[in-house]
Structure 1
């Protein structure tokens, strides 16, 4: 078996594999009749569009479900085959079609397409701000040619025009960016800016107005960023080369200190060692003799190394800056941080604190002064529709002391002080805290005087009810009870002293 396979492999020839396959010229091998009712299209932005999504969504957008079917021809091209010719024409008449808000290039199927097939689309363009002296068909056509090849001009100079634009249909090249405006020089002098708006075109690159990519991947922006990066790199190289050494040959500090010790710090934007300090070091070394020269060099090196080990010494000794002030007041000069990333809901609630505690603290503070209660005076509950005076009970003169063992207020303070958020007859809640109303003395006669006033009845009552019933009515609101013949008790009926014309109300 292996010998036969080896012979077959040796019999193969690469030249035979390179020969093209000849398609039979038979009717069953062609689909021209079916393709005559089809549209060929391609997506313009492969990064944001997919052929599979276009095939599933476009029949729904066209409202042709069941009457059109899509075929994926490649990663960028597709075909829609219609059952009826009028559905195909209706889709073409709608103009520009989009998928995922990006434009599609659609055209009718051609058996032998031209080289620029699916490179142009028909778009209606609105031309605005046309000069008033150039509202003519020729001028509008010339302005429309700036956007593309003009096919139709919707303009009638004999009818009123309600819109501030003129519509023209152009054959637009999808590989070129859209034109949004154009400066026009007028023959009578001056210039005018004409604006172009494209109908049914949604997303585009808002940097170059292209239909093939988004702004994030625009070649202009990418090229600009590359140029800026190259400029920064070149500038950094120039700065690195142009940096002059502080310690040059012939300098007394040359060889004593290293260049990185006296150079310019890019992180802080300051010199590592102040020029005044370096000048004093030079004078110190120049004033030495040959005997103690090396001793002073070692002193300079050791002092600089010792100062560099401590940030405070490096700040005050080497750079001659004022030493920082340390304070134990953690909230000294504290202000608001206007950064929403640092302010979480939990922090806000903790900073705000308990509103009840703030109100109670205000109440204690107001109670210690005493004058706040006196200024409050008599308050009525007119807003609640009640004309009664608010009566109050005496409040604790001062809060109970704070107990560390109990972890808060003592039980006496909790019992004496009412919650400021609850309504009480002796407390009025204000924005500044809890205020106590001034006590109102109740002016009411004592009980003996009230009884004497009740005993003094008028002569009219004596005439109507008689003297015998007066003693029974004083100090009591009960009705007179009488017994009938059967022993049942009932309220005594008041007899009318006025005799009507018809006779007595109780005839005998």
Structure 2
């Protein structure tokens, strides 16, 4: 049984992400309260690059990044929305367009950008769309493609860099094993599973998202223990 701790080791967190992001890109990382960190990037370009590569996790738990606003208190931040690349499968080749990616991606969350380019010179098996979605809601497993000249079809979804989530209910932030009263049945099947995690793409998106204008970002570890 795995139960996440209520707080993380702040010193370990700082060491890890200083190593990942490198000192030439990060001016400072400070812990301002349990699980809450203030990160100062060396430049807006460094900050944008970090956002492009998200979502990030620490010990498998997602931590969110939000723009630091001097007029807001800690309690004004929700850390509820995650930006993530979503792969949409089972799309006819003739319909793999940015317009359709935006339309289907809107069923998952707010569309940030789309990617329908060819993968390694071959037509891919999916479209990619980056969305911002509410993590208090269940992960979507598929979207519906409706066409006037054909029967509606289900399009399975996969998420890139998806942090820990519950295979029982589909919420991000904890494992079903966090519930000691949950009966464990050998061979038990859940509505959600590891198949929702997509392998990392061979080529990374190089276009900036332009989500924030400040180089200060606030980070928190989302420890969602729902008993």
Establish whether residue 96 from structure 1 lines up as the match of residue 55 from structure 2: yes
Distance 1:105 1:206 in 2: 21
Could you say if the C-alpha distance between residues 91 and 208 of structure 1 is closer, same or farther in structure 2, counting changes exceeding 3 Å? same
Structure 2: gaps (5+ residues): 186-227
- Partners in 2 of 1:64 and 1:138 — Cα distance? 40
CA separation of 1:139 and 1:75: change in aligned 2, threshold 3 A: same
Match of 1:70 among 8, 26, 29: 29
Instruction: Find the residue that maps to 1:141 and give its secondary structure.
Output: helix
Distance 1:98 1:204 in 2: 12
Unaligned runs of 5+ in 1: 1-44, 226-508
Q: Tell me: CA distance 1:204–1:49, structure 2 relative to 1, closer, same or farther (3 Å).
A: farther
Return the structure number with greater helix share.
Answer: 1
Q: How far apart are the structure 2 equivalents of 1:66 and 1:172? A: 27
Residue 206 of structure 1, CA deviation: 1.8
User: Which whole-Å CA distance do the structure 2 matches of 1:64 and 1:177 have between them?
Assistant: 37
The answer to whether the 8 Å contact 2:111/2:131 transfers is yes
Among 148, 168, 177, the alignment partner of 2:109 is 148
- In the TM superposition, residue 132 of structure 1 has moved relative to its aligned partner by 4.8
CA displacement at 1:109 relative to structure 2: 1.4
Q: Distance in 2 between matches of 1:192 and 1:218?
A: 35
**1:141 touches 1:150 (CA, 8 Å); kept in 2?**
yes
Instruction: Measure how far apart 1:169 and its partner are.
Output: 0.9
Q: Deviations over 1:213-267 (max 9, x none)?
A: 1111369x84999xxxxxxxxxxxxxxxxxxxxxxxxxxxxxxxxxxxxxxxxxx
Match of residue 352 from structure 1:
none
Across the aligned residues of Structure 1 and Structure 2, the Cα RMSD in angstroms comes to 3.4
| Correspondence for 1:172 | 133
- Which SS does the other structure have where 1:190 is aligned? strand
Distance (whole Å) between structure 2 residues aligned to residue 216 and residue 129 of structure 1: 32
Which whole-Å CA distance do the structure 1 matches of 2:91 and 2:62 have between them? 28
TM-score by length of 2: 0.64
Structure number with bigger Rg: 1
CA contact (8 A) 1:69 1:82 kept: yes
In the TM superposition, residue 143 of structure 1 has moved relative to its aligned partner by: 1.0
Larger fraction in strand: 2
SS at match of 2:171: coil
Q: CA 1:133–1:85 in structure 2 vs 1: closer, same or farther (change >3 Å)?
A: closer
> Counterpart of 1:79?
38
What does residue 50 of structure 1 align with? 8
Give, in whole Å, the separation in 2 of the partners of 1:136 and 1:93. Answer: 22
State how far apart, in whole Å, the 2-side matches of 1:204 and 1:49 are. 18
Contact preservation (8 Å) 1:47, 1:213:
no
TM-score, with length taken from structure 1: 0.31
1:209–1:150: structure 2 CA closer, same or farther, 3 Å change rule? same
Is the contact between residue 87 and residue 158 of structure 2 (CA under 8 Å) also seen in structure 1?
A: yes
Matches within 5 A, 1:97-496: 97-113=56-72, 117-132=78-93, 134-155=95-116, 162-217=123-178, 222=182
Contact 1:128 1:166 in 2 (8 A): yes
User: How far did 1:87 drift?
Assistant: 3.3
The alignment of Structure 1 onto Structure 2 pairs a total of residues equal to 178
Question: Which structure exhibits the higher relative contact order, with contacts defined as CA atoms closer than 8 Å and separated by 6 or more residues?
Answer: 2
| 1:94 Cα deviation after fit | 2.3
Counterpart in the other structure of 2:205 = none
Distance apart, 1:149 and its partner CA:
0.7
Cα distance between partner residues in 2 of 1:110 and 1:74? 17
**1:133 deviation in Å?**
5.6
